[in-house]
Chain A
Amino acid sequence: MNIHEYQAKELLRRFGIPVPRGRAALTPQEVRAIARELGGSCVVKAQIHAGGRGKAGGVKLAGSPEEAEKIAGEMLGKKLVTHQTGPQGRQVKCLLVEERLNIEREFYLGMVMDRSLSCVSVIASAEGGVEIEEVAQRSPEKILKEAIDPAVGLLPFQCRRLAYGLGLSGERANLLLSITQGLYRAFVERDCSLAEINPLLLTREGKLVALDAKMNFDNNALFRQPEITALRDLDEEDPKEYEASQLGLSYIALEGNIGCMVNGAGLAMATMDIIKLYGGEPANFLDVGGGATKDKVTEAFKILLSDKRVEGVLVNIFGGIMRCDVIAQGVVEAAREIRVAVPLVVRLQGTNVELGKKILSESGLSIIPAETMAEAAEKIVKAVTKK
């Protein structure tokens, strides 16, 4: 789960990390009021869940409250297209208004769940303000990394080593230590999967301030993070993906025209891949889970078909614990109930498969049966192309 920059900064502030003075606003009038509080000169930042806002015109400087209001009027309601939003862009509904700071240097400070080491790792770089992946590609020697032992936590000497590596010493090294330890506490206590301060600003006055912040959270841990869950912004999510998640289905919208319904994440991805191999384009990833019931299958069909681009559906079920006859019954009833009007290819394999096939063939519905994944992919691609 992602949150907005202003929410991440509020969270970081509570863990003792300095952030610029400022607040979020929903109207140009509010923006003007906040700008006035800040002394007139300020930065106005579009709040969307995507990076690359600066280059796309989503971060602007204002010299006066009036100018801030004017900028806000232009930004609010606009679609912002960055390299992370896709061509459709994201509508700006909220702005963060902040004080302007005097930049001495910009650093990168981040924390990730390190899969190779099975722990949290801190990453820092003297090259702040650019994407860390870019730095890692171009000059890996500029990336500093410390793995954190969960038994003892982030140790002061590790923070000092980072500080010295960034060229900070004395009081400035102490400030970095305090920020890094605060970030680690936030990471652990709030079940983050990623926390980035980029840039971490060294001001001309010698202060370290989190100028931008990005935080992602572990979906598996949301059950114990009500405060984080409350920050979820549904406007930033695909409504179909959200609806599916509420039903216990895992759905992700893609660009193609062949809807897929599969049990299991691996098989679902494999089904997308094989459609592509046969020259088609999958419209979605959809995992109905191991224990798909008739109701779940029906709901899954509804979500699939609400995507108007879908011109055919491929159902690929490997019935293990779920019996194929139960799945077949679910497919037939769902197809009847919601009148599936596009070509429907069904491939069933596993427990009670013969009974399942019999149910499909006797249903009177124009279901195209397939024996194997390859045959299923070939048939649905052909059926969709013919149309």
Chain B
Amino acid sequence: MAILVNKNTRVLTQGITGATGQFHTRACKEYGTQMVAGVTPGKGGSSFEAIPIFDAVEKAVSATGANASVIYVPPPFAADAIMEAADAGLELIVAITEGVPVMEMVRVKRYLEGKKSLLLGPNCPGVITPGECKIGIMPGDIFQHGSVGVVSRSGTLTYEAVDQLSRLGLGQSTCVGIGGDPIHGLDFVDVLIMFNEDPQTKAVVMIGEIGGSAEEETALWIKANMRKPVVAFIVGQTAPSGKRMGHAGAIISGGKGTAREKIAALKKAGVQMAASPALIGQTMQEVLKANG
């Protein structure tokens, strides 16, 4: 089953003629993802490695039946690209682009209200259902098919966690990057709702970080609704206040959004916290053993 993407997902790339778009479109295709179309305004009619390129998302959708999009277009044009994809009725939009103005994302979120499209990102590594479909920039070979769901605000730390899981023989159902920006699409709770309903997923790894209060809100939801064990890690325990730690959203402001508060909230919700970023896999292994 898995969530969000599977072997039937048909993906188009927005920004397929840029270097990043080409590199990752090729890598996703090699992984086995159905990369069916590309979109770059003005480049319609050409192709990239036998993938047809269109001027507009709606044209690509009607010609190829694409139902998901991945966006690599530069920050000034990313919001427009997301809204074009939503207008074309795509079920899933994965925005990889880092550096989108936050005010643009305010407008995007308002535009998406009432539309059927789900948005991941921006500033996220993407989503992968191992062995079936990879949309994004993650290294495909560290993932294994299995039953652990992963949801994270981070990129490379997710790879680290997944690598730990795979080495312990704990494969993954779907791994979802929700992105490091302050205002983004799907949040922890949206993804946990899906994992909760997914028969393939037996347990979930959640990786949060400093900034905002999404982890605290998620903790409340987990306590009330989650039927599967959750292992979590929060990064930024040593981060200073008032500094943006790489991700636009990773900032402690006015004493709020600290790792300490988030860890306390998650513990209170019954979430098993990994004591160190090196122990995420092991903690999950112990939790799965304890749950039979």
Partner of A220, one of B99, B158, B250: B99
Q: Chain A residue with minimal CB distance to B243?
A: A252
Partner of A266, one of B110, B139, B157, B276: B157
CB atoms of B103 and A266 under 8 A apart: no
CB atoms of A350 and B212 under 8 A apart: no
Partner of A318, one of B101, B156, B207, B275: B156
CB atoms of B238 and A272 under 8 A apart: yes
| Chain A residues with CB under 8 A of B159 | 267, 318, 320, 350
CB atoms of A254 and B240 under 8 A apart: yes
| Chain A residues with CB under 8 A of B42 | none
Q: How far is the CA of A191 from the CA of B275 in the complex (A)?
A: 38
Q: Which of A234-287 contact B (CB under 8 A)?
A: 250, 252, 254, 262-277, 282, 285, 287
Binds A, one of B48-56, B63-71, B147-155, B265-273: B147-155
Q: For residue B251, give the distance in angstroms from its CB to the closest CB of chain A.
A: 9
Partner of B102, one of A193, A266, A320: A193
CB atoms of B240 and A269 under 8 A apart: no
Interface presence of B292 (CB below 8 A): no
Q: For residue A289, give the distance in angstroms from its CB to the closest CB of chain B.
A: 9
Partner of B235, one of A188, A250, A269, A275: A269
| Chain A residues with CB under 8 A of B23 | 321
| Chain A residues with CB under 8 A of B130 | none
Partner of A268, one of B181, B246, B254: B246
Known A118-B109, A150-B106, A150-B107; contact A264-B239, beta-carbon cutoff 8 A = no
Q: How far is the CA of A51 from the CA of B154 in the complex (A)?
A: 31
CB atoms of B246 and A219 under 8 A apart: no
Partner of A116, one of B100, B110, B213: B213
CB atoms of B110 and A264 under 8 A apart: no
Per-position 1/0 for B211-224, Cβ under 8 A of A: 01110010000000
Interface presence of A115 (CB below 8 A): yes
Q: Which of B88-126 contact A (CB under 8 A)?
A: 99-103, 105-107, 109-110
Q: Which of B150-187 contact A (CB under 8 A)?
A: 152-160, 163, 180-183
| Chain B residues with CB under 8 A of A74 | none
CB atoms of B246 and A250 under 8 A apart: yes
Interface presence of A157 (CB below 8 A): no
Known A149-B110, A266-B153; contact A118-B180, beta-carbon cutoff 8 A = no
CB atoms of B249 and A285 under 8 A apart: no
Q: How far is the CA of A275 from the CA of B240 in the complex (A)?
A: 15
| Chain B residues with CB under 8 A of A224 | 76, 101
CB atoms of A218 and B103 under 8 A apart: yes
Partner of B212, one of A115, A132, A349: A115
Query: What is the count of residue pairs linking A and B with beta-carbon distances less than 8 angstroms?
Result: 178
CB atoms of A321 and B209 under 8 A apart: no
Q: Which of A214-241 contact B (CB under 8 A)?
A: 218-221, 223-224
Q: How far is the CA of A118 from the CA of B153 in the complex (A)?
A: 16
Q: Chain A residue with minimal CB distance to B217?
A: A116
Interface presence of A22 (CB below 8 A): no
Q: Which of B241-292 contact A (CB under 8 A)?
A: 242-250, 253-256, 275-279
Q: Which of A190-229 contact B (CB under 8 A)?
A: 191, 193-194, 218-221, 223-224
Interface presence of A133 (CB below 8 A): yes
CB atoms of B237 and A276 under 8 A apart: yes
Q: How far is the CA of A224 from the CA of B236 in the complex (A)?
A: 30
Interface presence of B138 (CB below 8 A): yes
Counting chain B residues whose Cβ lies within 8 A of the other chain, the interface size class is 35 or more
> Which DSSP category, helix, strand, loop or mixed, fits chain A's interface?
mixed
Partner of B160, one of A188, A252, A373, A377: A373
Interface presence of A374 (CB below 8 A): yes
Partner of B214, one of A115, A131, A267: A115
Q: For residue B175, give the distance in angstroms from its CB to the closest CB of chain A.
A: 13
Q: Chain B residue with minimal CB distance to A86?
A: B240
Interface presence of B137 (CB below 8 A): yes
Interface presence of A372 (CB below 8 A): yes
Q: How far is the CA of A151 from the CA of B237 in the complex (A)?
A: 38
| Chain B residues with CB under 8 A of A269 | 157, 209-210, 235-236, 238-239, 245-246, 250
Interface presence of A158 (CB below 8 A): no
Interface presence of A290 (CB below 8 A): yes
Q: Which of A118-154 contact B (CB under 8 A)?
A: 118-120, 131-133, 149-151
Most A C-beta atoms less than 10 A away, residue of B156, B249, B279? B156
Q: How far is the CA of A316 from the CA of B199 in the complex (A)?
A: 36
CB atoms of B246 and A351 under 8 A apart: no
Interface presence of B75 (CB below 8 A): yes
Known A220-B100, A223-B75; contact A266-B247, beta-carbon cutoff 8 A = yes
| Chain B residues with CB under 8 A of A150 | 106-107, 110
CB atoms of B239 and A270 under 8 A apart: no
Interface presence of A113 (CB below 8 A): yes
Partner of B137, one of A131, A188, A321: A321
Known A265-B154, A282-B238, A350-B139; contact A188-B278, beta-carbon cutoff 8 A = no
Q: Chain A residue with minimal CB distance to B216?
A: A116
CB atoms of B76 and A270 under 8 A apart: no
Can you pick out 24 interface pairs between chain A and chain B where the beta carbons lie within 8 Å of each other?
A113-B102, A118-B183, A119-B110, A132-B254, A133-B254, A133-B255, A150-B110, A191-B103, A218-B101, A220-B75, A223-B75, A223-B76, A224-B101, A252-B245, A265-B154, A267-B156, A269-B238, A275-B238, A277-B276, A285-B243, A318-B156, A318-B163, A349-B163, A350-B139
Residues in A lying within 8 Å of B, measured CB to CB: 84, 113, 115-116, 118-120, 131-133, 149-151, 188, 191, 193-194, 218-221, 223-224, 250, 252, 254, 262-277, 282, 285, 287, 290, 318-321, 349-351, 372-374, 377
Residues in B lying within 8 Å of A, measured CB to CB: 23, 27, 75-76, 99-103, 105-107, 109-110, 137-139, 141-142, 152-160, 163, 180-183, 207, 209-210, 212-214, 217, 233, 235-240, 242-250, 253-256, 275-279
Closest 9 CB pairs of A and B: A266-B154, A265-B246, A264-B156, A266-B157, A320-B139, A221-B101, A270-B277, A374-B278, A267-B156
